[in-house]
Structure 1
């Protein structure tokens, strides 16, 4: 199904003629073990907000398990349920983009289906939005169930990203956050194919605040992110929002060149005046190997940027929608019955 027809089908639903207060976007990839539990927890929270007009958009990112079938059988809750099925696995960044493109709420919250982003924090986030904040970032004070090594890597990475990035990116904040309508509309104007959503959602700026929470460990299923994938995502974040690594490579190259020149002058001086042309061979080899490694790293870093330019130049769509389904809110069902 074409994206335009999907958006039209969303707009044709009768309850959507009114204002939708909140859109909840849930990217899903192989979460059959968690979906029913997550939906139940979400329903309990939304039942506490009976006066709000809410839609929940589940985006199936090409799951290879029974996630899509389970999504289609989820019971009605106090919100419209929109199910979006992408044609294949495009990645979480693309799934979140699809949800933001299709949502109609005056605000939107991105929520993982693994319950590590607690749905019971939604009312607090809405309160902050009503206080006038355009972005409500959810900062993780503790990452339960994760190894000390992973926690240390995340701590270092977020601070390195903040230092290198040209955009103010909140530390220890994942994709779990609330965005106002004007922030969503500005994000939709960004057409880049290499998506790093933590940076993209921070790029528009506006008035922001942070709420702190303890991130619980996953109660079922397994994480879909390997260590290599996390490293690739981290590199994507740095190269998408900063050219400082290229500048660092330039300065490093200059420093190495000066060092190599000084050392070559010393070696030449010793060879001319002390006839010592063999001594220092091991250190010379080490310097050559180190210099070669530094050059390869700089070339690889340059290749990352060139590769992103190549990807952008192809102008392929970020995602493709294959199918969609809708389930009306319990409030609509009861009033209509």
Structure 2
């Protein structure tokens, strides 16, 4: 690979004070051992600790470190989107800042990129340091999502991946308020492949994806790439109605239980089906409502380490396109 080619590494961060120094040190050691040129773009998603201060301290020593600082917490996926828009590299690598995605995998991704692949995603072989519940639920979700959508989203993959500049330029055109980045990367197409790796335990601190956020991410993934839940809601409501009617008929014919009990039970079952249907429809309507407001996806409080403000360029281009 030519030394004139640049690899951008995008790392969303949120309250990573406990481990950010080690992360930067590991990445700098990796960069120094490689022939390619690198920039490290940290996107701070509204941290309330001294994560930003420690990144600033590193910038005084490392000329390849960049910082994009949000005005508040906007979410992990939007932090990735922002980092992609600021990246200048011929290829862009997205990875978490807790070293669960080891930099040692990047050379294998680069090798596949050189072989002609536009997207090289990390496919998890083992997930160290995670509970059995998270492993089982994640595996089930990936397979459910793949079964529900026509987009070929690889199973057992996260956001850890390398993308060619042409893929990044396409992703920069998206303005989704609740993006599911790994799904969008699959949706845009191009030649894609995976590399197997073992996901490591966290460098320090605790996961920033508790169950609530995991469920929100899963819902975003499903509602972004599949309309099947809308159909399932209709089927479930029809099934609930059928069971309710059948229960009443059986109660009347057999006389084994009072009809009142059966009717009440049937109404509760039917009601649960209707509420489920409304909830699913509401999720889709919520996405439409959020998108229709056309608010900025996020607010950048400041940037450091960049020659010019790439986000302002993006906003100006967006206004020109709208005009």
Query: Do the two structures share a fold, i.e. TM-score over 0.5?
Result: yes
Give structure 1 stretches of 5+ with no counterpart: 1-17, 329-337
Contact 2:240/2:269 (8 A) holds in 1 = no
Of residues 314, 317, 329, the one that matches 2:293 is 314
1:235 alignment counterpart: 219
Using structure 2 for the length normalisation, give the TM-score: 0.88
Which of these residues, 285, 299, 305, is aligned with residue 326 of structure 1?
305
Q: What is the match of residue 38 of structure 1?
A: 23
Match of residue 28 from structure 1: 13
3-state secondary structure, aligned to 1:39: helix
Shift of 1:48: 1.8
Q: Does 1:204 align with 2:215?
A: no
User: What are the residue-to-residue correspondences of 1:31-180 with 2, within 5 Å?
Assistant: 31-50=16-35, 52-74=36-58, 80-180=64-164
Mapped partners of 1:204, 1:182: distance in 2? 10
Map residues 245-256 of structure 1 onto 2, 5 A cutoff.
245-256=229-240
Give the superposition deviation at 1:321. Answer: 1.4
Q: CA deviation at 1:281?
A: 3.2
* Secondary structure, aligned partner of 2:58: coil
Q: Distance in 1 between matches of 2:213 and 2:43?
A: 21
Question: What is the RMSD computed on CA atoms of the aligned residues?
Answer: 2.2
Runs of 5+ in structure 2 lacking a partner?
Answer: 308-323
| Preserved CA contact (<8 Å) 1:76 1:327 | no
C-alpha deviation, 1:54, in angstroms: 1.9
8 A Cα contact 2:124 2:196, kept in partner: yes
Q: Is contact 1:135-1:206 (8 Å) kept?
A: yes
Displacement, 1:47?
Answer: 1.3
- Kindly state the Cα deviation for residue 65 of structure 1 after the two structures are TM-superposed: 0.4
Kindly indicate whether structure 1 or structure 2 has the higher relative contact order, using CA contacts under 8 Å at least 6 residues apart. 1
If the length of structure 1 is used for normalisation, what is the TM-score? 0.85
For the 8 Å contact 1:143–1:215, the answer to whether it is kept is yes
1:262-315 C-alpha deviation (Å, 9 max, x unpaired): 4455566x4xxx9x6973433332222111111111111111111111100100
- Alpha carbons of 1:313 and 1:327: their partners in 2 closer, same or farther (altered >3 Å)? closer
- The answer as to whether partners of 2:90 and 2:164 remain within 8 angstroms in 1 is yes
SS of residue paired to 1:83: strand
8 Å Cα contact 1:46-1:79 kept in structure 2? no
Larger radius of gyration: 1
Asked whether the 8 Å contact 1:43–1:77 carries over to 2, the reply is no
> What's the counterpart of residue 260 of structure 1?
244
